[in-house]
Structure 1
Amino acid sequence: MYKTDICILGAGPGGATAALHLANKGIPSLLIDKAAFPRDKICGDALSGKVVNELRRIAPELPELLGTQQEALPSWGIHFISPGGHKLSVPFLQNYNAAKDVPAGYISKRIYFDNFLVEQVRQRPEIELWENVEMTKYEREEDGSFILRNKQGEALVQAKLLLVANGAQSGFTRHIANLQQEPEHYCAGLRAYYKGVTGMDADNFIELHFFKDFLPGYLWVFPLPNGEANVGVGMLSSAVSKKKVNLKKEMLHMIATHPSLKQRFANAELVDDIRGFGLPLGSKKRSISGDNYMLLGDAGALIDPFTGEGISNAMISGRWAAEQAANCLQEQKFTAAFMQGYDKAVYNRLWKELRLSRHLQKLLNYPWLFDKVASKASKNEALAETISCMLNDVDLRERLKQPSFYMKLLFN
């Protein structure tokens, strides 16, 4: 049986980031994934400026190295298309026009991006990487450490500390940490790859479409290298159940008939199966640690409730998990009380952002208001810039919660 201080379950962005930060501190870890890399992951594939920042924190050269990959397309912002068809464009950078030679974000299929991170892992002697190994049973020892068993029941690992980063369907999250899926805080999604979609933005802005007949859901179109596009839909699980929505049927119907998409997809070809996935949203605070464990990324339900972005939040949680793990080893404390340092650090960084995104998500209950904001912003450059700054700056974004902001907007 392999004995280690730190075992990380899941080698996606959260787990790989944690392992790399630990390696930077000279701390060894065991990183386990049930798949062999490169492997696919159903996702929107957009890498925001926050992802670029987290790459830079791992190693300053990583963003530039990612930019040299043929599979990564530079992207400079987001187009929000309102229910009335008004476009609100939000650059990832506030000085967008002055800094276009420095991409603030990228779009890359997860099969490539996750492998990009794992390739960094392979170069680090501090990290032991096991692929094609799935742990299905977690047993407590008297000292609080975990024994991990595979499907065959073999005890393969004993670890003092578990960093759980094995995704939205994590058995550990459900059965040990007791975090259950809640339809009001869970999004159902579909993803498809198309080739030949026309009308893409010259600067590779990603698109989020909020169609009136599909609220409170949204449809996305993200450009990819080689003339491909990631196209998908997402909607709160509670709304899917309440409205009895067939997501696949609705998605194909919107692509075939909606005036803003019909011509763009006229000669487009579906190049892969339409696949479903679940998004545990960070729209409520949860306990994301306990005795001898921490939950990272999707396993800790840290996905942005408005945009569906999860990669950057997973990487942020991985960074803070590595920090907490180093503290645990130094103090030789692994109790739930001591582990609260991780919860505090993650939510100090993310909660204001997640809470405000929840408010923006609720704005979809008032499509006329969303439409009014987007309409005015599409005709008023100063207002568009103000909203862009608000969406990029968490402190400014607080104003989007205030009724006075909308009153001024509606009556000026």
Structure 2
Amino acid sequence: MEVDICILGAGPGGATAALHLANAGQPCLLLDRATFPRDKVCGDALSGKVLAELRRIGVSLPAQLEVAPIQLPSWGIDFYAPNGRRLSVPFKPRYNPAADQAAGHISKRIDFDNFLIEEVRRRPEIELREGIEISQHEQQPDGRWLLKDGTGAPVVLARLLLVANGAQSTFARQIGGHALEPAHHCAGLRAYYRGVTGLHPDNFIELHFIQDFLPGYLWVFPLPNGEANVGVGMLTEAVSKRKVNLREQLADMLATHPALKDRFATAERLGPVRGFGLPLGSKRRQLSGPNYLLLGDAASLIDPFSGEGISHAMVSGRHAADWAGRALAARQFTAQFLAGYDKAVYNRLGQELRLSGVMQRLLNYPWLFNFIANRAANNPTIAETLSMMFLDIDMRERLRKPSFYLKLLVGSK
């Protein structure tokens, strides 16, 4: 078959791109090797930016998610500094859980991704084909991409390819040039638990920056049905240099760390501890080329400090749909024309990614991280900055002003 637009990967980035194309009346083919619902290893947190992107797809989607049993509303973040100090950062000052709409949610990826796929299934403009493993990508003389399955059989010939098939994307590595770089890649583990005690009554997510585990961090995110997503992440470069066994470290911290051991003493682990790799957005990379765009994890857009990838995938999906429409209208599929997509994505995410990269590097200096955590307790600017990493607030104008950094350093209110 021949199509104008083929999207590889039906996760948040690919599904978002397909839905925006459908809103514009543009047909597309959406392929995924899995059959939904399917699990994906992730932290499972949905930030305010996710809700904003859902709203851009369809104004009713955030409200549908809000009442769905697959999620918990989350009202903030608890940061635990290396010195043990807890910094509670609500997403909204003086929030009222009984009356306000939550700024964030937590939902297992198996459920959230299927939430998006159910919306995809309702759109006649989108042809969703599941269980299709694409093993070969061959560019034809006219620029189109011929995609073949594992047997070498042709699947589709596409004028424009939107590649959203995740952190292990063969296309992104071999054709997009996104080689694994240990200094810009995170190794992680995730497990589900039941019966973790001491979770915040308003479902604050927890990030623990433990002295002996830096520059890594440990998270605890509450989930529906009394469960919790628990995991660790550390730069691949640091894992290799320090010869860290992440599985042993995770088990040890949960069993012995003063802030965690009592809370996990009677908790039950549900299923195995699963590993994953995250290509971080701490380095600016090329996101497009002749007749293709890279989206989400395949575009190495994961936040280097928080590890958030869902909202960035959805942002890239929205811009990919926009530039796919422009390319078709202009009949322009060159690398030069599609570079406008790169500019659009980095114009939205670049400043935040750079700031997150700075925060990530602070983990190499525990004393400085402790200083900032202590200062943040009395400095609204720092607390707001941490919160904004999880919200849909445009930080670009503030980040351009020298006065913003002065407030961070001297504690001005």
Into which bin does the TM-score normalised by the smaller protein fall? over 0.9
- CA shift for structure 1 position 365: 1.6
Q: Which residue does the alignment assign to 2:185?
A: 186
CA distance in 1, matches of 2:219, 2:24: 39
Residue pair 1:399, 1:405 contacting (<8 A) in 2 also:
no
> Does residue 391 of structure 2 align to residue 389 of structure 1?
no
Q: Aligned-pair RMSD on alpha carbons?
A: 1.9
Taking the aligned partners of 1:58 and 1:305, their CA distance within structure 2 comes to 26
Query: What is the match of residue 257 of structure 2?
Result: 258
Structure 1 residues 400 and 222: CA distance shift in structure 2, 3 A: farther
Secondary structure, counterpart of 1:160 in structure 2: strand
Distance 2:227 2:109 in 1: 14
Trace 1:125-136 onto structure 2 (pairs within 5 A).
125-136=124-135
Matched-pair contact (CA < 8 Å) for 2:36–2:114: yes
Name 1:278's counterpart in structure 2: 277
**Matched residue count:** 406
CA-CA distance at 1:179 after TM superposition? 1.2
Q: Is residue 317 from structure 1 mapped to residue 312 from structure 2 by the alignment?
A: no
Q: Secondary structure in 2 aligned to 1:231?
A: strand
Work out whether residues 359 and 401 of structure 1, in 8 Å CA contact, stay in contact via their aligned partners in 2: no
Mapped to 2, the partners of 1:183 and 1:295 lie a distance apart of 20
Alignment of 1:69-84 (within 5 A): 69-84=68-83
Measured against aligned partners, the alpha-carbon deviations of 1:275-311 in whole angstroms (never above 9, x if no partner) come to 0000000001100000000000000000000000000
Q: Deviations over 1:362-404 (max 9, x none)?
A: 11122112112222434x3xx2x33222232524467899875
Asked if residue 30 in structure 1 is aligned to residue 32 in structure 2, the reply is no
Deviation digits for residues 209-262 of structure 1 (CA, Å, limit 9, x no counterpart)? 000000000000000000000000000000000000000000000000000001
Letter in structure 2 aligned against 1:212: Q
Contact 1:283 1:354 in 2 (8 A): yes
What secondary structure sits across from 1:121 in the alignment? Answer: helix
Alignment partner of 1:278: what SS? strand
TM-score by length of 1: 0.95
- Residues 1:401 and 1:291: Cα distance change in structure 2 (over 3 Å): farther
Contact 2:37–2:111 at 8 Å: present in 1 too?
yes
Q: Tell me the equivalent position of 1:158.
A: 157
The normalised TM-score by structure 2 is 0.95
Hey, what does 1:142 align to over in structure 2?
141
CA distance in 2, matches of 1:299, 1:319: 15
Q: Counterpart in 2 of 1:244?
A: 243
Check the 8 A contact 1:94/1:389 in 2, yes or no: no
Secondary structure of 2:272's aligned partner: coil
- For 1:403 and 1:104, how far apart are their aligned partners in 2? 26
CA distance in 1, matches of 2:199, 2:9: 34
Q: Does 1:305 align with 2:304?
A: yes
> In 2 relative to 1, CA 87–398 (structure 1 residues): closer, same or farther, beyond 3 Å?
farther
**2: CA distance between counterparts of 1:375 and 1:254?**
23
Deviations along 1:329-361, one digit per CA (max 9) or x if unpaired, are 100000000001100000000000000000011
Partner of 1:49 in structure 2? 48
Matched residues in 2 for 1:209 and 1:363: separation? 14
Distance 2:108 2:281 in 1: 23
More displaced, 62-71 or 192-201? 62-71
